[in-house]
Amino acid sequence: MSFSWPRGHRVAMNNRFKPTGEFASVAIAFSVNGKQVSVEAEADTPLLWVLREDLELTGTKFGCGIAACGACSVHVDGQLTRSCSVPVSDIAGKAVTTIEGLKAEDGTLHAVQQAWVDAQVPQCGYCQSGQIMAAVALIERTGTPSDAQIDEAMTNICRCGTYPRIRQAILAATGQAAKASATTQGEA
C-alpha cells in the first residue's frame, strides 16, 4: 500500500504556505532596535526568518511557526507580535524591537530582564526571549498587572515549566514584590 501525506498534514501545510503569486524578492525597509534596515525578501517571508537569517538576530526563536507558542515574540510599533506569522511585507515602515534591543545603550539590562536574572527564571532558556517580550508588553500596557492579567497575557509555552518564576519576576519587576514573595516557591 502506498501512502501520501495524511490529509490533515496536507491541509495544514497548504494553509501555511499559500502561494502568493509574487515570488520575486522585493526590498522592504523598516527599523529594528532603532536601526534602519532594508532587506531583499519574498513578500510572504515571515518576519521571524528575516530577523533570524537575514539580520542574524537569533535571539528570537522558532518554536511552532503557527503563532501557537510565542517563542518568536517581538514588538512591532510597540505591539506584541508573533513574528512567525507576520509577512515581512506587512512590516514595511514599521519599528521592530527584538530581545536584543531591550538593553540600554550602555548594556544595562531592562528592568524585566533584570527581574528574570534575579528570580533565576530560565532553565533551557529557549522560550525566554519570547516570555520576556510578552512580559514587557504586558507591563507597558498595564503598569502593575494583576494575577488575572498575567494569566491572560502570558500565553507563551515553556516546556521546562518556569511559569511560577515568570509570575514572580513580573510581580517583582512591577513593585509587587510583597505579592511575589507570597507566591514564591517554598524556601529551600
Name which of residues 55 to 94 contact other proteins (CB under 8 A).
56-66, 68-69, 71
Q: Which does 82 bind (CB under 5 to 8 A by kind): other proteins, ligand FES, none?
A: ligand FES
Least Å from the CB of residue 172 to other proteins: 14
Instruction: Tell me which of 45, 81, 98, 128 binds ligand FES, using CB under 6 A.
Output: 128
Residues in 122-141 at the binding interface with other proteins, rule: CB under 8 A: 122-129, 132
Q: Which does 79 bind (CB under 5 to 8 A by kind): other proteins, ligand FES, none?
A: none
- Residue 155 to residue 175: CA distance in whole angstroms: 22
Q: Which does 17 bind (CB under 5 to 8 A by kind): other proteins, ligand FES, none?
A: other proteins
- Residue 50 to residue 42: CA distance in whole angstroms: 10
Neighbours of 45 (CB within 10 A): 19
